[in-house]
Amino acid sequence: MKRWLCLTLILFFWLPPAFGKAKDVSIPILLYHRFGPSASDSMTTPTPFFESHLIYLSDNGYTVIPLKDLVDYHLGRRTPPPLRSLVITVDDGHQSVYTDMLPLLKKYHSQATLFLYPSAISNASYALTWNQLREMKETGAFDFQSHTFWHPNFKQEKKRLKSDQYEVSVKMQLTKSKEKLEKEFHTRVDMLAWPFGIYDEHLMQKAAEAGYVAAFAMMRQHATSGDNIMSLPRYLLTNSNSDAIKQILSNGSRCENNIWFLRK
């Protein structure tokens, strides 16, 4: 009995503090989708604007950390991140991530997490190929995670399908994507970006059951200790120059925007 008590006390004092207990930890997560010469649609960031973001970060002493590190901080597996840290993510798997984003990440020694829906890869004309993704993985600039299997609108699916059909669909979207990505890249896939930022308590529970340890939505606020790890906020960036990045990094205030919360 005394031996177990000693071991418990040692573990208690040895383990690093949880992210959730570090009140001063507040990290912005940036979200991009695709790139091009101009903002041709609501999800396209002009490539020169994205480069201006990276220049601003470099010139002002910001550290782009891996998304996995942020999750580990939140789970208490790591000590707090460096001051002036942030995370870069990109959703979907558009060709411009290979042609436009990758060269700039390499140029400025930065990194990003790419959330993919595998049904489009090597199939849709706008999407990356598996060979391109493997090449990107070799650079060390990208980590690949799940964006479900074919990017459904769960709000519409819940209305359209019968209850049992909806449950089958949710399970397929969450597990099939994870399994496909793990098979292709021989790496662990345990993070999820909610399509369209749509989630609810039931979906978060199903994601956890499927093996995801963290999931990400779209809300214009920093990720802090008070956020649910299955719906961490991200700043959606499109036609935004370096002034927008400066405002995001210096503000960090909470404001509801760019989120769909599925009500029962």
In a domain, 48, yes or no: yes
In a domain, 251, yes or no: yes
Give the mean pLDDT of 66-94.
Answer: 94
How many Å apart are CA 177 and CA 229, to the nearest integer?
A: 20
CATH number at residue 204: 3.20.20.370
In a domain, 93, yes or no: yes
In a domain, 52, yes or no: yes
Looking at 4-13, 22-31, 93-102, 143-152, which range is the least confident one?
Answer: 4-13
Cβ neighbourhood burial of 70 (10 Å; 0-12, 13-18, 19+): buried
Looking at 35-44, 178-187, 227-236, which range is the least confident one?
Answer: 35-44
Does residue 260 or residue 198 have the better pLDDT? 198
The helix (run of H) or strand (run of E) holding residue 107 is helix 102-107
The pLDDT of residue 239: 82
Domain that holds residue 126: 2-255
Taking only the tens place, the pLDDT of each residue in 165-179 is 999 999 999 999 999
In a domain, 111, yes or no: yes
In a domain, 83, yes or no: yes
In a domain, 264, yes or no: no
- Residues 6+ positions from 64 with CB-CB distance below 8 Å: 57, 85, 86, 87, 88, 110, 111, 112
In this structure, what token pair is assigned to residue 175? 């597990």
Task: Check whether 7 has a pLDDT greater than 50.
Answer: no
Whether 203 contacts 160, CB under 8 Å: no
In a domain, 260, yes or no: no
Task: Check whether 18 has a pLDDT greater than 70.
Answer: no
Total domain count, the chain = 1
Average pLDDT, the chain: 88
